[in-house]
Structure 1
Amino acid sequence: MNKIVFALPLSLALAACGSADEPPTDLENAESDGAAAALARNIEAGEFLDLDLGAKIVGPQGPEVTSALSNAEGNFADLRSFVACPADMTECDPAAAPEGTIYTYVHVVYPGEDNEAGTGSGEGNDSSDVERATAFRMTRPATGFTGAAGYSKDEAMAAIGAKADVVITCDDGALVWTVSAGDGGDQWEQAEPLTFWWQSTVAPAGPAAAYAIDANYAQATGSGPYPADAPGAPNACNAPAVAGAEG
């Protein structure tokens, strides 16, 4: 697998939810070579609330796309997604956007369901209650990925508490947000939304089967906005690793 770490601008190099005075999370107490390697390669996460976003792309489903993340056993999460242009753009039309436009992909993941019949899996949810969700991930390479990604730290704190941590890594060109809550106690679980984001130089072509949640020791997949085909587009996951860099 191609898992690496990059140097990001200082404005994006924000600390994870936990502070230096708090006990380390289970990822910081890496008990295996694999866990230690994942920690060493993590991408420092930007805070969702610090983003200054402009207009959203309006597609056939409107400005937001809803879907369910599911497997043969049922629906394990609702997914609500949108793609936004930079703050100075009051209309987000990729066909008219200037060259160099950066698109922010935003995904709000509700383990279990969001308890609204009109969105996502809604009343159709037939999975077991989600007691522990541990990751949100892309199942395809992050085309055009700029190296900027993050999540809502306020939401993580609300769902999990002060021990909350989210480690972002690359897996064969795709992004993985691993949610660490330690053992026991509060977990990322049923009906606790978490917002994840990443930025790309490539606009979406439409929803694609490109996202998944790891929950209740299973994986469930579904669709969300995904970049159009762009041969030769950069993907920061594939950039050379920074020698001696640490998360």
Structure 2
Amino acid sequence: MTFYPNLLRPLLATAAVISLGACSAEPDMDKADMEPVAQTDGEAAAIAAALDAGDFMDLTLGAKIVGPQGPEVTGTLDTAEGSFADIRSYVACPDGMDPCDPKTAPEGTIFTYVHVVYPGEDNDPDSGSGDGNDSSDIERASAFKMLRPAHGFTGVVGYSKGEALAAVGAKADVVVTCKDGALIWSVEAGGGGDQWEQAEPLTFYWQSTLPPAGPAPAYAIDANYTEAKGSGPYPAAKEGVPNACIKSG
């Protein structure tokens, strides 16, 4: 499966503006007129590769899984030079399920993986890198991504559109794609506006039919043109469980 992430940004900028509530659109504008139009076969493939991203604020979640580190896992996304981001993650059961215990959860339970990523630091010494951050200020973070396949991925994925609007501006362009079975959230300013940068949190989520097996070095941020890696809750592979990023047959 081949995708074209660089083509997605200009093609989907209009759609991103609409989804983030840009006020310039006319209320009676025909929806079809606002859809990105492919000019080449490659652009058509790129548009088809983009996943439909939901808004985190529309989710209603149940209790969080309580693991050895408690209901949330905090850490950093690092390189050999230092920390480039804080990350706070948790996994929640569906609304109404409390407690959230994978051992007693009924068959078919959907688990929502949530990752709150702070480029640079979040100024909280008790979580992630905090005051210990020793990287340069993050002037531009361009993607949050998985480094391993999203086992059990249902196809439901998204981010906080309100946070993207606050961090990047009305031209925010957040495009979700698959690569080698993993998920990538590309964050751009579109045709203008600010960048996703220092201490601007963004919340990302995805859903799986599999519970976490524990923290794993499965996540990364592209910041200041550098890939910084770290750990977060991650499901183990299970035979026969599909991943919506991987086409069967």
Structure 2 residues without counterparts, runs of 5 or longer: 5-15, 26-35
Do structure 1's residue 167 and structure 2's residue 175 form an aligned pair? yes
Larger Rg: 2
Per-residue Cα deviation, 1:163-208 (whole angstroms, up to 9, x for no partner): 0121000001000000021366410000000000000000001100
Could you tell me how far apart the structure 2 residues matched to 1:38 and 1:78 are? 31
Equivalence map 1:82-161=2 (5 Å): 82-161=90-169
Secondary structure of the residue aligned to 2:184 is: strand
Q: In the superposition, relative to structure 1, how do residues 163 and 20 fare at CA in structure 2: closer, same or farther (>3 Å)?
A: same
Q: In the superposition, relative to structure 1, how do residues 34 and 122 fare at CA in structure 2: closer, same or farther (>3 Å)?
A: farther
Counterpart in the other structure of 1:78: 86
CA drift at 1:238: 0.9
Structure 1 residues without counterparts, runs of 5 or longer: 5-13, 23-27, 242-247
Could you tell me how far apart the structure 1 residues matched to 2:40 and 2:116 are? 31
Counterpart in the other structure of 1:8: none
The TM-score normalised by the length of structure 1 is: 0.84
Q: In the superposition, relative to structure 1, how do residues 155 and 35 fare at CA in structure 2: closer, same or farther (>3 Å)?
A: farther
Could you tell me how far apart the structure 1 residues matched to 2:55 and 2:83 are? 28
Q: In the superposition, relative to structure 1, how do residues 186 and 31 fare at CA in structure 2: closer, same or farther (>3 Å)?
A: farther
Do structure 1's residue 16 and structure 2's residue 6 form an aligned pair? no
Q: Which has the higher helix share?
A: 2
Task: Give the aligned residue type for 1:92.
Answer: C
> RCO (CA 8 Å, sep 6+): is it higher in 1 or 2?
1
Equivalence map 1:223-242=2 (5 Å): 223-239=231-247
Q: In the superposition, relative to structure 1, how do residues 215 and 194 fare at CA in structure 2: closer, same or farther (>3 Å)?
A: same
The TM-score normalised by the length of structure 2 is: 0.84
